[in-house]
Copies of this chain bind each other. A is one copy, B any other.
């Protein structure tokens, strides 16, 4: 059986994560004070800092959970994509976008992005970066899959094209969370429009019916 100490530790960690996630959503990141999080989790402020390097670390931890889900939800689409380049891309990307606001608010995204840029060497920021890489690879893999199926022409550098699509969708998502008034639909439309030229140019000519 696991030692008492290990169990207590896991339990405290769970309580803190839960308290923080709820508080972040309830009052926003800035207004959620460490003292409050600690109180809800029934630990002291000092204990919080034994588990997390700083306040931002805690937020990035919750974001990482979300991105992992997004990544997983993308797999079936990559495994069995629509037979049209732009449609396949949109299916994957819109899946990302639709999932993005399930657990997190725009405010939380903004803060998480800001932290991952400003403190790139904190453990959870590194994890965030890794997840970004994984998403980028997933897009590249989709292109590669389409190439194998003859939807995308041969001789295209799938890694380069995948990176380009990904950087574009990522940058546009950043713009989306920065603008509180921008809707998900608007985001999807804009990105689809931007993707169209490259998607069309790398596509093989349509088969006749």
Contact = CB atoms under 8 A, between A and B. Distances in A.
Interface of A: 110-111, 113-118, 120, 129, 156-157, 160-161, 163-164, 167-168, 170-172, 174, 177-179, 193-198, 201-202
Contacts of A194: 160, 163-164, 167
A197 B115 contact: no
A52 to B, nearest CB: 19
B163 A168 contact: yes
Contact of A197 (B113, B116, B202): B202
Nearest to A155: B197
A194 B178 CA distance: 26
Identical subunits present: 2
Contacts of A113: 114, 117-118
A160 B196 contact: yes
A30 to B, nearest CB: 9
A55 to B, nearest CB: 13
Contacts of A161: 197-198
Given A163-B194, A197-B156, A198-B201, A179 B114 contact: no
Contact of A178 (B117, B163, B170): B117
Contacts of A129: 178
A5 to B, nearest CB: 35
A107 to B, nearest CB: 9
A170 B163 CA distance: 13
Contacts of A114: 113-115, 117-118
